[in-house]
Every structure is written in C-alpha cells, then in structure tokens.
Chains A and B, each alone.
Chain A
Amino acid sequence: MCLGVPMQVKSIANGIAVCEIDGVRREASLMMVEGVEVGDFVLIHAGFAIEKLDEADAEQTLQLFREVLASGGGPA
C-alpha cells in the first residue's frame, strides 16, 4: 500500500501544493514536509507529499547507471 509518485510542485497556497506529473495535476498536503518550494519534486502518497526528492542524489544514481552502461562487463 505504498504507491508513491514523484510530482513537481507548481504552486503552493495554505499548505496545499498543486503538483504535476506528465501534465496531470492534483492537490497534495504539505503537512509532512519542510521547506518545499515551487519547482521542487516531492513524493506523493494518498494525497500527501511524504518526502522531498533529492535531485542531486537522483543525478548521482543516474550517473552511476551511465557508468554501468559505459563499462564493459559482458557482451553489449
């Protein structure tokens, strides 16, 4: 029961953010996260942002994948 979707914050008013994924928008409560600003990515679960996505960290993981891809390690 832990479906969570990364969505981008488009606007914030009274602790409620309008978040977007692929052109689809929905409101979510920011009650559980600190310091979220417009433009940030948050993880949405059951109408709440439950965590802020660390974009630098995501980039590191993706960089690691790019290195995995560039490395030899078996037939291409």
Chain B
Amino acid sequence: MTDIILLGHGSGGKLSHQLLDELIIPTLSGVAQRDQNDAAVLNHGGQRLAFTTDSYVVDPIFFPGGNIGDLAINGTVNDLAMAGARPVAVSVGLILEEGLPLEDLRRILASMKQAAQSAGVAIVTGDTKVVPRGKADKIFINTSGIGVFDHDYEVRGSGARVGDKILINGSIGDHGMAILASREGLDLEADIRTDSAALHELVAEIIAAGGEAVHALRDPTRGGVATTLKEIALQSQVDITLEEAAQPVRQEVAGACAILGLDPLFVANEGKLLAVVAPEAAESVLAVMRRHPHGAEATIIGEVTGASDGKVFMRTAIGGLRAIEMLAGEQLPRIC
C-alpha cells in the first residue's frame, strides 16, 4: 500500500478493497473479507436489524435524472435492501461548503424528502456542519439507515453456488456515464440519465418469489458490475462466467464509453442489483423482476460455472474467453 491516500482508494475497486482489508477493518473491527456486505445484520433482543452508512461526494452535484440528495437516500435504502431488509429510518449528515447557494441546498433537500417518501423511509435524525470555502466541494452528505426483516432468509455476498444464474434488473453503466458526461471538460453531449432508484420493493418481490433460492444480492455501484461480481466470486469461492452478448448496455452509454475508451462493465450504477439465484428459480424470479417498474429490462447475464478461488470470466461475442478483474485505480478516460 502507498504512504498517502490516492483518489483511486475511493474508486470502489481494488485499491478501496486494499485500504479496507489492510488498514480500516483490521484497525476498527475484525470482520473477515467473506463477511463484508452492504449492511451489517445485528441481532437485537431476538430481532434482526440491518444497519448501514454511506457518504456521497459526487461531482457535479446536479446531473441528468437526479442530484446528490436523492442519490444519498436511494443509496442507503439500497444497501439495506441488498441485505434483504426493509428500510425503516435514515439519518442525514450534511457537510456544507461556505458559499453554497441556498437555492441549491433547497433543491437537494426537496429531492431527499421526495426520495424518502417514495421509498417509505423516515428521516429521523441529522446533523449539519459548515466548513470554510475550499475545505469541501459544495456539499457532502452522509446517510445511515436501519432496516428490519420481514422474512427469515439470509441474503449475503457469500452464498453463490455452482449452477446459479446471475440476474440484473436492467442496463449497465447509466449512472457513471451520466456523471462523466455532465462533468466539466469532457464536453460530451448525450441523453444519459442516472438510474438512481430505491430497489427495496423489487428486492422484497425477488425474495417473495425466490425465497431461499436467492443466494446473493448486491448493487453494482462504484467499480461497476465487474467489481461487484468479482467480490461475490471471491466471497463465495466460485467461478462466474458472463456472456458478452447478454450484457444490457444502452446505446448512448456504449457510444460514450467508446469515445472515452471505457468498459461499461466497470462503470457505476445506482439503481441496479445483481441477484444470484438457483437455476430452478431463475425464470420465476426473472418474471417477477420484469413486472416491477425497476426491473422491466431484467435479464440473465451469466452463471456460476464452478467452485474455485473466485474467478470471473467473460465469454466474448466471438466465442473467446477473457478474465474479468476488479477495477484497478480510477476509471479514467483514455485515448489509448
């Protein structure tokens, strides 16, 4: 590991994992890599509770289809949902930079309220700090959330088994490319909107339909589908093979990726989930997903092909095979 923090440590990819596994987790707790999930599951007086926290530092703070506010609510709702929980309450911590226009804050708060209402969660506590100009970038938001369980199933990243199908609820890479395209300097003009959405209702229906056949759930945020599947493969000690031809990518996202030399598989999503489902239940779960507004384009993108130390492969459209690793460093536009 390096002696200073690099931007890549926040990319959600391999550097982030190193920082977590080698410094943060050993210092603060003792959770093994296999047990790292989007939310902690606590046993309190015989009742299971899910607990999670997440911070939002996105630039720009307004982007097509959303802003940092609804992102902060949906992201934490989704982290609870991926543990199989029903989100109940969230906290909101605001770090504001001196000089932030009040109108911007007003817009962000309004969309947070709306996102919380439509997700059915209450914003129950919060905190506000202001830092001198230049000590933060306009606004940072931290949200924590608590969820409860309406079922007895355990959903985690380590449950994938040989033969399982990999399902996704729609197109890949929309959020990351919406952010990149609207960022100053790249000057791309494209109708790409974030996919930011609260997924807990979809998760509830997946669990209701699939029950214990749902072996793992995770939202492929930073680092994209590639990094998330690699995490699941490592946690579950299995091989996963994806079909290149089956990857759902919107035309505009593909075009923007082509220009910038990026691979959509490594681009962030904020309204997508990957479900690892036993083969006999895959079709029925898929049907349920497709009936939900956030899963209309749900599809099977691959399967668990063997027991191993956690490899992910892509069967390419022309029949070749390539390995998929976690995102290394930052996802940088390249011309090479």
Contact = CB atoms under 8 A, between A and B. Distances in A.
A/B: CB atoms within 8 Å of each other:
yes
Interface of A: 1-3, 5, 7, 18, 21-27, 44-46
Interface in B256-288: 256, 258-259, 261
Contact of B259 (A1, A2, A18, A24): A24
A26 B259 contact: yes
A24 B255 contact: yes
Interface residues of B, number: 18
A27 B186 CA distance: 10
B187 interface: yes
B336 A24 contact: no
Contacts of B6: none
Contact of B335 (A1, A25, A26): A1
A68 to B, nearest CB: 14
Given A3-B335, A5-B259, A46-B335, A23 B187 contact: no
Given A22-B255, A24-B190, A25-B188, 14 more contacts: A1-B336, A5-B258, A21-B255, A21-B258, A22-B252, A22-B254, A23-B251, A23-B255, A24-B188, A24-B189, A24-B192, A24-B252, A25-B189, A26-B189
A20 B129 CA distance: 44
B190 A25 contact: yes
20 contacts: A1-B335, A3-B261, A21-B255, A21-B259, A22-B251, A22-B255, A22-B256, A23-B190, A23-B251, A24-B181, A24-B188, A24-B189, A24-B190, A24-B252, A24-B256, A24-B259, A25-B188, A26-B187, A26-B188, A45-B335
Contacts, number: 45
Interface string B161-203: 0000000000000000000010000011111100000000000
Nearest to A21: B255
B257 to A, nearest CB: 9
Contacts of B256: 22, 24
Nearest to A44: B259
Contacts of A46: 335
> Closest 8 interchain pairs by CB?
A22-B255, A24-B255, A1-B336, A25-B189, A24-B190, A21-B255, A22-B251, A23-B252
Interface string B307-336: 000000000000000000000000000111
A52 to B, nearest CB: 18
A27 to B, nearest CB: 6
A3 B335 CA distance: 5
Contacts of B335: 1, 3, 45-46
A21 B260 CA distance: 12
A22 B253 CA distance: 8
A60 B57 CA distance: 50
Contacts of B191: 23
B165 to A, nearest CB: 29
Nearest to B333: A3
A22 B258 contact: yes
Nearest to A27: B187
Nearest to A26: B188
A22 B329 CA distance: 28
Contacts of A22: 251-252, 254-256, 258
Interface in B226-266: 251-252, 254-256, 258-259, 261
Nearest to A20: B255
Given A22-B255, A24-B255, A3 B334 contact: yes
Nearest to A22: B255
Contacts of B251: 22-23
Contacts of A23: 190-191, 251-252, 255
A7 B255 CA distance: 10
Contacts of A27: 187
A10 to B, nearest CB: 10
